[in-house]
Structure 1
């Protein structure tokens, strides 16, 4: 018999051994994470602002920075879960404003502030539930729904307050909203509360069956439905959670600034969405992490705070936010294309190819 011809494939890359220690492997794994760019950008922004911006690193400014991003961070947590499922909620800032207006009306009517706070949370849950019903029961796209409710909720806030403001809240509540945690300068208590919530949301998203189902929904909601995931109920409760947390952010915002106005937090939803996308959450769903989103919130806050210390106007800050939002959408696509271009071609499989002389002819035995 003639010898077999064999198609060979390239030798596989050597396994990690002494030439590539465990530390290097962990570093390579870290650099491959989707949120690595925003983490690196945050480190660079912090170092640059600390070195070149006067008073940035002072305890008073750090406290101001953390207070200014607290509401954004709160709303970004449930927004992360919603975007992971492939949906979006653009009504969060309007929910915040309507909650603030509701708190003002209740306080003026003589309702105790402790009771008014719980009513505001219930109002926020109801607003989020309305979004959930329109998206899950009516089958409407969340983008269109929440654009509509964004205008609706903001309009209702103007119905409640008009152009006036409520600013007669108890001073103990107003000052208490800005108090430092355990007397530590530069660390307001709300920052610690956001950190605790971020840990809880991270555990929920990354370490529970519910979190895994959210990624499944974002990748393919029909397939997730056929595997037993209650897709509609899950999305409904996520929108309800988003409204509740936005209401909590509205209560904190109101007490922090000591006033309720219908135009409160106008345009803040853009910063929330920018932070979520900047943190590595895919706008198409199925990809994201709480760590990346919190880094995105901090990065936006550091950039805006540094620009404010330079004395730039609010219009410039809005332009910068828009540019960052565009970059947060474009950058992941560019990174994915670069990685796809650099990925090695799949190796061919080794298989013996018999020679034609090896085949028995008619009437012959092999």
Structure 2
């Protein structure tokens, strides 16, 4: 090996180091979109507690967590789906359909536990329909879930019409509205925490989770690497249907009401929270702790503004501005990072050229 070749090898070797891990640990943890959302959530809570009357009362905390619980639940599988560069717009319609099924079966004399389990299985079937159309038929998930959104909602409304079922076992409705003893935290947070841990481990600490990021970054490369892309996405849509079904049962018990239009528009709140939490709409990026913070941020902000007398229209405008800002900021930061990387590469190229010349 000549001296020039050795010198060239020495210059190239550092480029093989994985860039992310060349940064200090505190930067990898704190200088992220997820950390920024968590910091913003804390800021909103502090400001609202100091300026909005009764915001920090236990009753406000209870109602806030109850209202965002269905969104928190469905946001878990939605995060995994969007990381793979897909989307599921039918989740709120599945909530409505499973709510109606819970009411109809309970009203027919079924034990509530069996009625609820059957309703969740209906959610699984709905998710499997979405997964089949996306992965086997090969249709785009946006078009498929827009169609099934209308389909599932139409079935739910058709089954009950304009009527509502409001008679449910008192034990189950009380349980849905109960708090953990001695705290203002609703009991529904227990299954949510269990599911959040399961999904977090699945996404961040297993080979399955790494395949999701690989699919989102480059589906073709993932396929050639031996990943069964179709099966993976099918599993995600089934999980989404199952969790949406569970959320539909909870929604029914919480409001003691089974109607075909339950959870109307909830899919937009879920997607907004997921994107606000740092998940890229283009796939390949995101973390569950950021999504949970995003859901709580939207819920906390909405609760504080309502207590301050702000109308729902203004709250929707603010939520929309937050969502647009999060998407734009991600694109802007990515563009700036590319420019910075390109500038560094040019400087290294010029430095290498000058060294070779000498």
Paired residue for 2:281? 283
Deviations, residues 268-295 of structure 1 (Å, cap 9, x unaligned)? 1011001110011000100010011001
Paired residue for 1:165? 164
Distance change >3 Å, CA 231–CA 263, structure 1 → 2: same
**Larger radius of gyration between Structure 1 and Structure 2:** 1
Q: State the alpha-carbon separation in 1 of the partners of residues 308 and 112 from structure 2.
A: 38
Paired residue for 1:317? 315
Structure 1 residue 340: Cα displacement? 3.8
Q: Secondary structure at the match of 2:28?
A: helix
Is this contact kept in 2: 1:274–1:328, CA < 8 A? no
Is this contact kept in 2: 1:101–1:261, CA < 8 A? yes
Q: How does 1:67-146 map to 2 (within 5 A)?
A: 67-146=66-145
Paired residue for 1:300? 298
Structure 1 residue 354: Cα displacement? 6.6
Task: Pick the aligned partner of 2:193 from 192, 195, 205.
Answer: 195
The question of 1:246 aligning with 2:241 is answered: no
- Deviating more after overlay: 140-149 vs 312-321: 312-321
Structure 1 residue 217: Cα displacement? 0.6
The question of 1:152 aligning with 2:151 is answered: yes
Is this contact kept in 2: 1:72–1:297, CA < 8 A? yes
Is this contact kept in 2: 1:180–1:189, CA < 8 A? yes
Q: State the alpha-carbon separation in 1 of the partners of residues 162 and 311 from structure 2.
A: 24
Q: State the alpha-carbon separation in 2 of the partners of residues 354 and 265 from structure 1.
A: 69
Segments of 5+ residues of structure 1 without an aligned counterpart are: 13-23, 356-366
> What TM-score do the two structures reach when normalised by structure 2?
0.89
Q: Secondary structure at the match of 1:111?
A: coil
Structure 1 residue 222: Cα displacement? 1.2
Structure 1 residue 341: Cα displacement? 4.2
Structure 1 residue 237: Cα displacement? 0.9
Q: State the alpha-carbon separation in 2 of the partners of residues 354 and 227 from structure 1.
A: 42
Q: State the alpha-carbon separation in 2 of the partners of residues 118 and 71 from structure 1.
A: 17
Task: Pick the aligned partner of 1:274 from 272, 275, 278.
Answer: 272
Is this contact kept in 2: 1:60–1:185, CA < 8 A? no
Q: State the alpha-carbon separation in 2 of the partners of residues 310 and 147 from structure 1.
A: 35
Distance change >3 Å, CA 353–CA 339, structure 1 → 2: closer
Structure 1 residue 148: Cα displacement? 0.8
Is this contact kept in 1: 2:175–2:187, CA < 8 A? no
Q: State the alpha-carbon separation in 2 of the partners of residues 41 and 121 from structure 1.
A: 35
Q: State the alpha-carbon separation in 2 of the partners of residues 335 and 48 from structure 1.
A: 27
Distance change >3 Å, CA 49–CA 188, structure 1 → 2: same
Return the structure number with greater helix share: 2
Structure 1 residue 184: Cα displacement? 2.6
Q: State the alpha-carbon separation in 1 of the partners of residues 80 and 356 from structure 2.
A: 52
> What TM-score do the two structures reach when normalised by structure 1?
0.87
| RMSD of Structure 2 on Structure 1 (CA) | 2.1
Distance change >3 Å, CA 354–CA 292, structure 1 → 2: closer
